[in-house]
Amino acid sequence: MRIYLDNCCIQRPLDSKDHLRVLLEADAVLGLIDLSRTPEFELVASDILRFKIRNGQNAVRREYAADVLLAAEFDVHITDAIRQRAHDLERFGIAPVDALHIASAEAAEADCFCTCDDDVLEKVGSPAVFKVRIVSPLDLILEIER
């Protein structure tokens, strides 16, 4: 299974665990990261993901996320086709950076795009728009465990 974890997903284990949802998502993301180091799962990195990580304000978060991406087996570089696809996705209410993440996941032929971003997860109601399945880390872990 090829998985694209967006920046908010990768960073979830470092978030404050004041809410049960954050705690559960953090554990799910750590599980997904561990699975990405097995032959059955492949992690996808991308130019937009590295850009978001490099521009983060917290050095610990930047280093952690960069270390996670070392396990990535696929690396997507932004092309004109990805930019155009992202522009098309923006028409459906997807924020520009999120659109680039999703377009990169699609270009990598990822099985799923995993995010903790509620704005993106709300757009899942229009699955025909996407060429990749968009899931939360909790939903993905539950699916894998079945």
CATH of domain 2-145: 3.40.50.1010
**What are the extents of the domains in the chain?**
2-145
pLDDT at 128: 73
b/e map 14-23, b = 16+ CB within 10 Å: ebeeeeeeee
pLDDT at 126: 65
What are residue 73's phi and psi, to 5 degrees? -95, -20
Give, for all 146 residues of the chain, the pLDDT tens digit: 999 999 999 999 999 989 999 999 999 999 999 999 899 999 999 999 999 999 999 999 999 999 999 999 999 999 999 999 999 999 988 999 999 999 999 999 999 999 999 999 988 766 678 899 999 999 999 999 87
Whether the full predicted model's pTM is greater than 0.85, yes or no, is yes
Task: Please list, in sequence order, all residues whose beta carbon lies within 8 angstroms of the beta carbon of residue 39, skipping any fewer than 6 positions away.
Answer: none
pLDDT at 123: 81
